[in-house]
Chains A and B, each alone.
Chain A
Amino acid sequence: METQTVHHGAMFDTNELVINMGPQHPSTHGVLRVVLRLDGEKVVDCDVVIGYLHRGIEKLSENRNWTQIVLLTDRMDYVAAATSNVGYCETVEKLLQLEVPRRARYVRTILCELQRIASHCLWVGTHAMDIGAMTVFLYAFRERELILDLFEEFCGARLTYNSMRIGGLPLDVPPGWAKKVLEFCTIMEAKVGEYEELLTHNRIWLERTKGIGIISGPEATGLGLCGPALRGSGVARDVRKDEPYAAYDEVQFDVVIGTNGDTYDRYLVRMEEFRQSLRIIRQATEGIPEGPIVGKVPRLIKPAAGETYHAIESPKGELGYFIVSDGKSTNPYRFRVRPPSFCNLQGLRRLVRGHLVADVVALIGSIDIVLGEVDR
């Protein structure tokens, strides 16, 4: 007969509990696995496991020629594919020392900003739904649809656009497109107010986001956070302003920064970025110049031997490409992407410590990740 020892204090033991979240979990926005160590309901530590969506895009790109890679970059951040296209094409143009016509640069700016709004729409919808606000999800997807229609009219695709070519654009904007973009801006302006009405002063929203995941500016910089996650901590770092590309040096806009570095500030930064993006789109669409859409691209793209790093501001943050050409072959010798989601996700461990399990969901939403880009 076995003897049983009865612990009278067993009910009050504070043993750490390890629970697993994901990889198939609706609030992880893809296939992200988070192993949480809990003390009661408080998160002591966590381990972020990624790689479930690893397709080896870097290795694949090293075996494709320069023009074919545009298509692969679509598959990284699939909710903002045009931005990835622009980043890649600009890096190759930098290697080739190629001048891009002004019209193409303006259209790129418009597409990038439309894409930012589409990505932020998806973010605000899913983030709000994670926290429990169902309505915003439906509203935001309704407006995202309008942007997808604009893209469909421009390049025929709605998700993976393949919408850029090295040296310019594959095709000119269709007639009447600019007018539709301006109409969309008017609609969207009002809708952003609608989202804010639902969330910004909502008491539940404030309770769930204020003071959650506070990170200071220097710490966020050291951790390599980027985009709205970094700007929410008060660091005025925006590639569009600091290292202008496309036509960002010819349009007026403000870099939005937060003060507290919590989930609420990151939310406010993105909401204000909606308006700044609309401001950029209006200026670029009204000032779009006439002219060619492709520069003097060599028939065979083969940059001279050398390497370069070029970064752009994707909706998630600094999207960088490091490309090495050996000068001999028609494919890059080394193709490396600096994915903003990857670097932001690294900060999750720091952010969730000391918070409740329910806040983990809010924090994953607040750093805005796309797993296709994290794993590549």
Chain B
Amino acid sequence: MGVDDRKPPETPPTAAADKPSSQAPAEPLKGEVSRTDAPGAGASAAPPGAPRTEPPAPKPANIEAAVTATVSETSSATGQPTAPADPAVRAAAPAPKASGAEAAAPTAAAKAAPPAKPAPPKPPAGGAEAHVPKAAPPTGPPDPPPPADKTPPAFITTLQTAVPGGVAALSFWVGDWTIIVPVAQLLDVARRLRDAPDAAFDYLSDLTATDWPPRTEGRFDVLYMLYSTRHRHRVRLKVKVAEHQPIPSVTGVWAAANWLEREVYDMFGVNFTGHPDRRRILMPEDWQGFPERKDYPLEGPGELLMENPLDWLKLRQAREEAEIE
């Protein structure tokens, strides 16, 4: 059964009638940062209020260690013996250069180096633990299929016959049933689950998303936690969507989705279509970027300085000296 998923669902009685419908599936989302200036996975957007003069530098795991790594690399290139893996020596290595113009160079280089290419790991060195690249980012939840002794509830089997293709896969984990639904069938499945007497999912508990950037078939999982006040049972729907892929809003099925979808749009930039009032909800209207994406930095450039008190002191000292001059 073909479904036009761009068709806006009927406006719920509680929905905004005076707000213009922000339905623009083809255009980039408002507030989105162009991905060309994002050097790596570590930084994609700087919050407003950050200094505009320099681009948001990706945050290396540890500045000191990154500087040391750069120094030891240059020394090996010039034929000198590499610095022994001794924390004391390594810590002292950049110290003599601290007063020259050269001192700035390795720091800048370290700052500009994308975090995707960390310094080569040197296992015995102290402080090198921060450097060891983490395991490859996960590409998605395992979604384990139900074990053989678990039969899915009756409403799932009737759903499979009522909406052909509506159930792409089934998953069962620690007592929760999850139905993985293709985007095209989402509205059909949602309406069927709400209206069918054996399902009667009249309560949308929660609507949220999860970001899995390396995944090929679409980075977001959009999740719908449903509950039935009549049968007192739960189910979870999961829809996989790509970054700009439109996903129909379920505000026409459950009015509760209004704010929840706004929050998912605000935090992840999931492109809901047919939403009566798609604006940011927690962040300011003019905010750049989507904070809960995995490639959005946890800390802004200003906070980076606060992490190391010595950097902070150096900066303050430099500012004071500049003021005296």
Closest Cβ neighbor of B136 among chain A residues: A328
Closest Cβ neighbor of A328 among chain B residues: B135
B204 proximal to A (CB < 8 A)? yes
> Beyond A51-B281, A51-B284, A308-B173, is A56–B202 a contact (Cβ under 8 Å)?
no
A307 proximal to B (CB < 8 A)? yes
> Beyond A320-B225, A349-B14, is A309–B210 a contact (Cβ under 8 Å)?
no
A193 proximal to B (CB < 8 A)? no
A224 proximal to B (CB < 8 A)? yes
Q: What's the Cα separation between A318 and B144 when bound, in Å?
A: 27
Instruction: Give the residues in chain B near A218, CB-CB below 8 Å.
Output: 202
Instruction: Give the residues in chain A near B204, CB-CB below 8 Å.
Output: 224
Stretch at the interface among A124-132, A162-170, A205-213, A331-339: A331-339
Which parts of A335-376 form the interface with B (CB within 8 Å)? 336, 338, 342-343, 345-346, 349-350, 375-376
B5 proximal to A (CB < 8 A)? no
Q: What's the Cα separation between A322 and B260 when bound, in Å?
A: 14
Instruction: Give the residues in chain A near B174, CB-CB below 8 Å.
Output: 94-95, 97, 306, 308
Which parts of B1-21 form the interface with A (CB within 8 Å)? 12-14, 18
Q: What's the Cα separation between A218 and B195 when bound, in Å?
A: 13
Q: Looking at the complex, which one of B206, B255, B281 makes contact with A336 (CB distance below 8 Å)?
A: B206
Closest Cβ neighbor of B262 among chain A residues: A346
Query: How far in angstroms is the closest Cβ of chain B from A333?
Result: 7
Interface centre among A54, A58, A95, A322 (most CB of B within 10 A): A322
Q: What's the Cα separation between A305 and B236 when bound, in Å?
A: 17
- Per-residue interface assignment for chain B, residues 94 to 127, with 1 indicating a CB less than 8 Å from any chain A CB and 0 otherwise: 0000000000000000000000000000000000
Residues of B contacting A: mostly: loop
B243 proximal to A (CB < 8 A)? no
Q: What's the Cα separation between A194 and B296 when bound, in Å?
A: 53
A272 proximal to B (CB < 8 A)? no
Taking residues whose C-beta sits less than 8 angstroms from the other chain, chain A's interface range is 35 or more
- Per-residue interface assignment for chain B, residues 250 to 284, with 1 indicating a CB less than 8 Å from any chain A CB and 0 otherwise: 00001110111001000100000000000011111
Q: Looking at the complex, which one of A318, A326, A376 makes contact with B205 (CB distance below 8 Å)?
A: A318
Q: What's the Cα separation between A336 and B211 when bound, in Å?
A: 12
B188 proximal to A (CB < 8 A)? no
A338–B225 touching, CB < 8 Å: yes
Q: Looking at the complex, which one of B14, B205, B223, B282 makes contact with A350 (CB distance below 8 Å)?
A: B14
A346–B141 touching, CB < 8 Å: no
> Beyond A222-B202, A322-B208, is A306–B138 a contact (Cβ under 8 Å)?
no
B146 proximal to A (CB < 8 A)? no
Q: What's the Cα separation between A59 and B283 when bound, in Å?
A: 13
B281–A343 touching, CB < 8 Å: no
B282–A221 touching, CB < 8 Å: no
> Beyond A95-B174, A320-B225, A342-B259, is A221–B202 a contact (Cβ under 8 Å)?
yes
A70 proximal to B (CB < 8 A)? no
Instruction: Give the residues in chain B near A308, CB-CB below 8 Å.
Output: 173-176
A309–B14 touching, CB < 8 Å: no
Residues of B within 8 A of A (CB): 12-14, 18, 134-135, 138, 141-142, 144, 173-176, 202-206, 208, 210-211, 223, 225, 229, 232, 234, 236, 254-256, 258-260, 263, 267, 280-284, 291-292, 296, 298
Q: List 27 A-B contacts (CB under 8 A).
A: A54-B282, A58-B292, A59-B292, A219-B14, A221-B203, A222-B12, A222-B14, A222-B203, A222-B256, A224-B203, A224-B205, A243-B232, A243-B234, A306-B141, A307-B210, A308-B176, A309-B236, A320-B225, A322-B206, A326-B141, A327-B138, A327-B142, A333-B138, A334-B210, A345-B259, A346-B259, A375-B282
Q: A223-B14, A318-B205 are in contact. List 19 more A-B contacts (CB 8 A).
A: A51-B280, A54-B282, A54-B283, A59-B291, A60-B298, A63-B298, A94-B174, A222-B203, A222-B254, A224-B255, A224-B260, A242-B232, A305-B142, A307-B176, A311-B205, A322-B208, A326-B138, A334-B211, A338-B205
